[in-house]
C-alpha cells in the first residue's frame, strides 16, 4: 500500500473568487498571483465575473504568458508585474491622480499604482525621478503637482519625498515605501518608518512596495 497521501476531492478546488466584491465595495477583487499554481489561475479565470475588471498583481513572466494566452483581450504591464483584463478603460472621471516617484528604481512600484488606479477608472499621470536629492526637479514641476486631486508618492532610501510633497499641496498624499536601498535601508523598513513619522499632515502610508494598495486607495479617495 502506498504511503502517499491522496488529496481528497473537496480539497482540489481551492479557489473562491469574490465576485460580489464590486457590488459590495465598489471595486472588483484583485488577484495576487504569488504562489498560485497554473491550475488555480485557470480556475480563477473560469469563475470570474465577465463584466468586471480583473487585476492580477505580482505575476511572473510565465504567469503573464499564461494569462495572455487565456485572456487575449487583456493587457500585460511587465515592468509592474501586472495583467489587466480587459484592457484599461477610457476614463471620463474628472479628478486626476498623480503618481510621483523619487528615483527611476522606484518606477515599477509607481507603475503598479498608476495602472491599478487607471484600471479602476481614474485619470492618472506620472512624474518620475524627482527625489529630494535634487529638489529643484520637483519644485520645477510644482504647478503641475498642485493640479492633482490626489497624489501617490513612491520612494525608497530615506523615504522623505511624501513629507516634502505634503508640505507643498492641499490634497491627500499616499506614501509608498519601496525596498530600494542598501545597508540601513533594511529593504524598505527605513523608508516606511520615515513616512509613518511624517510631520506633514494628510499623509497616508501603505505597506512596502504596495503599489496596488496605493492605487486602490487613491481611486477610493477620488470617487
Per-chain mean pLDDT for the chain:
88
3-state secondary structure of 96: strand
Give residue-wise pLDDT tens across range 128-143: 999 998 999 999 999 9
CA gap 18, 3 in Å, rounded:
36
pLDDT higher than threshold 60 for residue 208: yes
CA gap 176, 191 in Å, rounded:
9
**Boundaries of every domain in the chain:** 9-85, 96-221
Instruction: Show the cell assigned to 223.
Output: 470617487
Architecture of domain 96-221: 3-Layer(aba) Sandwich (3.40)
The predicted pLDDT at position 13 comes to: 64
Q: What percent of the chain is modeled with pLDDT above 70? A: 91
pTM, 2 dp? 0.87
**Is 195 within 8 Å of 202 (Cβ atoms)?**
no
The predicted pLDDT at position 4 comes to: 65
**Is 29 within 8 Å of 57 (Cβ atoms)?**
no
Question: Span 147-175, mean pLDDT?
Answer: 95
Amino acid at each position: 500500500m502506498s504511503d502517499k497521501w491522496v488529496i481528497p476531492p473537496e480539497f482540489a478546488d481551492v479557489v473562491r473568487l469574490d465576485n460580489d466584491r464590486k457590488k459590495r465595495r465598489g471595486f472588483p477583487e484583485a488577484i495576487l498571483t504569488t504562489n498560485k499554481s497554473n491550475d488555480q489561475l485557470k480556475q480563477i479565470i473560469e469563475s470570474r465575473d465577465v463584466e468586471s475588471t480583473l487585476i492580477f498583481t505580482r505575476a511572473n513572466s510565465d504567469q503573464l504568458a499564461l494569462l495572455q494566452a487565456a485572456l487575449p483581450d487583456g493587457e500585460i504591464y511587465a515592468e509592474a508585474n501586472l495583467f489587466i483584463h480587459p484592457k484599461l478603460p477610457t476614463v471620463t472621471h474628472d479628478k486626476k491622480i498623480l503618481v510621483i516617484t523619487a528615483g527611476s528604481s522606484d518606477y515599477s512600484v509607481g507603475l503598479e499604482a498608476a495602472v491599478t488606479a487607471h484600471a479602476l477608472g481614474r485619470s492618472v499621470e506620472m512624474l518620475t525621478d524627482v527625489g529630494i536629492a535634487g529638489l529643484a526637479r520637483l519644485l520645477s514641476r510644482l504647478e503641475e503637482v498642485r493640479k492633482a486631486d490626489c497624489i501617490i508618492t513612491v520612494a525608497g532610501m530615506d523615504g522623505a519625498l511624501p513629507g516634502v510633497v505634503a508640505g507643498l499641496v492641499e490634497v491627500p498624499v499616499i506614501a509608498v515605501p519601496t525596498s530600494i536601498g542598501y545597508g540601513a535601508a533594511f529593504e524598505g523598513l527605513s523608508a516606511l518608518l520615515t513616512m509613518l513619522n511624517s510631520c506633514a499632515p494628510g499623509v497616508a502610508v501603505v505597506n512596502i512596495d504596495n503599489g496596488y494598495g496605493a492605487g486602490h486607495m487613491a481611486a477610493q479617495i477620488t470617487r
